[in-house]
């Protein structure tokens, strides 16, 4: 394992530069001598101390992009499932953690957590996509949400959301005409539906917590 290295997985999806800058800033703020690498090399991912999987776009497109990188899914399985390395999925990267996505067809996910990705149906005249700042509701104490209070705001951009995840795997929620998981996780893996790299103080706090997390 390459200690002191955080791998942000590049599989053709995600705002990688802004994510890298946010993780670099959080590392500086926390006084952590970490290298933040954007990489499409499965070996670098397999050897990283921590792994981040971003994702922007449709579930099926992101899944195809991830599986199109030879050896990448196997590297993730080796590092995260068998190796127990801390893992953070962001937006569609979080959604890929569950069993399947129902966006433009049925697509198999990584299956690390129970659940499906389904279209948002907020009602109350609210528009989809859900885009902008929204409050977080904390459902249980967790190292990743330490220092974040109920009612703190995070930045969301999504039309689909996770449902059917075990309640004990939901770490925080948000409400946009319907309550949905905003942070999910178990063991050494977690994911955020919002974009921590765009969520200012709340996002930097969560990223800093992730960089210190010892699950």
Which residues are known catalytic residues? 91, 195, 197
160's CB contacts (< 8 A; 6+ apart) are 59, 95, 101, 102, 103, 117, 118, 119, 120
Q: For helices 16-30 and 200-212, what crossing angle results, to 10°? A: 70
């Amino acid at each position: 394992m390459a200690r002191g290295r955080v791998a942000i997985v590049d599989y053709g999806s995600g705002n990688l530069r802004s994510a890298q800058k946010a993780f670099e800033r959080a590392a500086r703020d926390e006084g952590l001598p970490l290298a933040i690498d954007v990489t499409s090399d499965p070996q670098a991912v397999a050897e990283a101390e921590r792994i981040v999987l971003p994702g922007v776009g449709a579930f099926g497109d992101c899944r195809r992009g991830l599986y199109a990188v030879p050896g990448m899914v196997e590297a993730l399985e080796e590092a995260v499932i068998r190796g127990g390395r801390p893992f953070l999925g962001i937006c569609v990267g979080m959604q890929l953690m569950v069993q399947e996505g129902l966006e433009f067809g049925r697509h198999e996910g990584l299956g690390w957590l129970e659940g499906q990705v389904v279209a948002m149906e907020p009602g109350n005249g609210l528009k989809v996509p859900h885009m902008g700042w929204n409050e977080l509701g904390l459902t249980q104490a967790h190292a990743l949400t330490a220092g974040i209070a109920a009612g703190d705001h995070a930045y969301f951009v999504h039309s689909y959301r996770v449902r059917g995840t075990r309640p004990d795997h939901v770490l925080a929620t948000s409400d946009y005409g319907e309550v949905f998981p905003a942070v999910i996780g178990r063991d050494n893996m977690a994911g955020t539906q919002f974009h921590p790299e765009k969520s200012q103080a709340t996002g930097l706090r969560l990223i800093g917590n992730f960089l210190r997390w010892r699950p």
